[in-house]
Amino acid sequence: MASIVNAVLERENDDRPAIVGDGRTTSYRALAELTRRLTEGLRRTVRPAEADVCLVISHPGLEESLALTLAGWSLGLRVAVLPPYLKDRELEFALAACEPVVKVSDVTPDGSGTLSFATLLQAPPGPVGDAAKDATHETFTSGTTGHPKCVDRPVSRLDADIEQLVTATGLTADDRVTAMTTALSTTSVLPALVAGAAVVTVPVQSPRQFWQAIGEREITVMSGTPYSYELAVRRRPEPAQTKRVRLALTTSARLRPSTIHRLLSETGIAPRNIMCSSESGHIAFNASDDPEILATSVGRPLDGVEVEIRAEDGTVLPEGQEGRVCVRSPFTAVRYRNNAEESAAVFQGDWVVSTDIGYRDRDGFIRLTGRDDHKIYFGAAKLDPQEIEDTLLRHPGVEDVLVVGEDHDRLGQTPVARVVAAPGTSAEELLGHCREQLSATKIPQKIEFVSEIPKDFKGQPKRPKYFRFE
């Protein structure tokens, strides 16, 4: 089995590009050297053998975040990469979810538990550790608690998952794969590096800019979220801009069939769904050449992945019957760290119980029909409405609030806050309060003032729990 760490270090004499960004290209040689330098810096400062700590990385650069992640994994550490734009309260919750932690930032350290990236770089390149099999990849996902949950996934399982995806998608060292953000993506960045391909950052700010970058940067594999494709279909690309594209992958959420049909008819490119989650890893891939199956299914389970469709009482349902999607594989995460209650609800024995609702057809294709959760799928982000509600309730003018997802033709859903407010409280005042405490994607797109929030017999707000796809 290929190791993500070894895949990079084995190419330390390779001057081909590993990461290509705006005005900056990092070769595999440079990435390996940066990883070795950061490994030695961690070895001298963190002393991983002395404590079970999580290396929390907050850096805007993909190269830096990636190299530091590989360095931490090689030393057997738990590693979590956080967006650098998190507000203080969001960061506080995230750090609490994966403690004990050592935070590494590109800015001046703000406490005894923080290291600066510059400090680690002062060390000379050293040998990379061999403890990646003992390391843990930690990611964050929102649930029904209003706070982020830290998902523990052994790197040995992640290695197997990435190798499986590389095989299924046919990635090669000749490919140039898009990275729509600087996040450490397990569906684009890591598979591309294991294959020896180039990861190329592409802006997703306008359709014109998107297609121009696809052409100019000679992209062969487009990998993005539904939001990026919903944006792209608003403009027909020039034939020269897509002539090198051989494969398009979509992940994070289900892409609308209408978008897939439109891209196929206008460009000849049909995005192939990859079904995955932080808890389950990669579950299914759609390798069909049938346009209708491409548009309506997330594919068949990957090799080694078992999928059961279950009724609410746990009974396994036959093909064609709709129920909850449950997954068992060698790639799954093992728990929510520091959260035994929610771990027990999701990680049941060897199985991961998801919130996806769907069925398996007679040919083995999984067809998702909806979600059984409260999340708001806003563009590429998955928002927890309770986190936004908690923030609004801290404003003295808010008496009660319910945040819901409102359908949007391009973004999927947008967060809307229904607020019972004290007299004189304005929408702009509440939005300003949210901007001070939440990341930009979590700001409600609209404030609606209401006289009351409907409650159930337990006094809980009646929120729309089940979301059915088009």
Per-residue pLDDT tens digits for 411-424: 878 999 999 999 99
In this predicted structure, the answer to whether residue 47 has a pLDDT above a threshold of 80 is no
In this predicted structure, the answer to whether residue 167 has a pLDDT above a threshold of 50 is yes
pTM exceeds 0.75, yes or no: yes
Q: Is 312 left (phi over 0), alpha (psi -120 to 50) or beta?
A: alpha
Mean pLDDT check: name the lowest of 22-26, 96-100, 219-223, 459-463. Answer: 459-463
**Whether 63 contacts 41, CB under 8 Å:** no
User: Averaged over 8-16, what is the pLDDT?
Assistant: 96
Band the pLDDT of 159: cuts 50, 70, 90: very high
Q: Are strands 114-116 and 101-105 parallel, antiparallel or unpaired?
A: parallel
- Per DSSP, the three-state class of 463 is coil
In this predicted structure, the answer to whether residue 434 has a pLDDT above a threshold of 50 is yes
- Per DSSP, the three-state class of 370 is strand
Write down the residue that tokens 């975040």 correspond to: 65
Q: Which of 236, 228, 234, 221 is nearest to 191 (CA)?
A: 221
**Whether 322 contacts 358, CB under 8 Å:** yes
The whole-angstrom separation of Cα 82 and Cα 80 is 6
pLDDT, tens digit, for every residue of 66-111? 999 999 999 999 999 887 777 777 788 888 888 878 888 776 555 5
Q: Which amino acid is at 221?
A: V
Predicted confidence at residue 143, as pLDDT, reads 44
Q: Which of 164, 193, 163, 161 is nearest to 177 (CA)?
A: 193
Predicted confidence at residue 458, as pLDDT, reads 43
In this predicted structure, the answer to whether residue 145 has a pLDDT above a threshold of 50 is no
Predicted confidence at residue 35, as pLDDT, reads 96
Question: Which range in 141-145, 249-253, 275-279, 387-391 is most confidently predicted, on average pLDDT?
Answer: 275-279
If you average pLDDT over every residue of the chain, what do you get? 88
If one compares 326 and 369, the residue with the highest pLDDT of the two is 326
The whole-angstrom separation of Cα 347 and Cα 338 is 14
Question: Which range in 235-249, 375-389, 450-464 is most confidently predicted, on average pLDDT?
Answer: 235-249
Predicted confidence at residue 146, as pLDDT, reads 46
User: Averaged over 23-35, what is the pLDDT?
Assistant: 95
Mean pLDDT check: name the lowest of 42-51, 224-233, 398-407. Answer: 42-51
Cβ neighbours of residue 344 under 8 Å, at least 6 residues apart?
none
In this predicted structure, the answer to whether residue 456 has a pLDDT above a threshold of 50 is yes
User: Averaged over 215-235, what is the pLDDT?
Assistant: 89
**Whether 38 contacts 59, CB under 8 Å:** no
If one compares 220 and 59, the residue with the highest pLDDT of the two is 220
Write down the residue that tokens 């007679």 correspond to: 362
- How many Cα atoms within 13 Å fall on the side-chain side of residue 318? 1
**Secondary structure percentages of the chain, helix, strand, coil, to 5:** 30, 30, 40
Q: Interior CA angle at 357 toward 351 and 360, to 5°? A: 80
The whole-angstrom separation of Cα 49 and Cα 61 is 28
* Rg of the chain in Å (alpha carbons): 22
Predicted confidence at residue 183, as pLDDT, reads 67
Q: Which of 144, 151, 148 is nearest to 90 (CA)?
A: 148
Predicted confidence at residue 142, as pLDDT, reads 56
β-bridge mates for residue 405, sequence order = 415
Predicted confidence at residue 291, as pLDDT, reads 92
The one-character DSSP state at 85 is T
- How many Cα atoms within 13 Å fall on the side-chain side of residue 206? 3
Q: Which of 236, 298, 292, 293 is nearest to 267 (CA)?
A: 236
Cβ neighbours of residue 439 under 8 Å, at least 6 residues apart?
83, 85, 86, 87, 90
The whole-angstrom separation of Cα 365 and Cα 359 is 8
Please, what are the domains in the chain? 4-134 (3.40.50.980), 170-270 (3.40.50.980), 376-468 (3.30.300.30)
Predicted confidence at residue 198, as pLDDT, reads 98
Predicted confidence at residue 93, as pLDDT, reads 80
User: Averaged over 125-143, what is the pLDDT?
Assistant: 86
User: Averaged over 22-30, what is the pLDDT?
Assistant: 93
Length of the chain: 470
**Whether 15 contacts 2, CB under 8 Å:** no
- Per DSSP, the three-state class of 68 is helix
- Per DSSP, the three-state class of 76 is coil
If one compares 371 and 440, the residue with the highest pLDDT of the two is 440
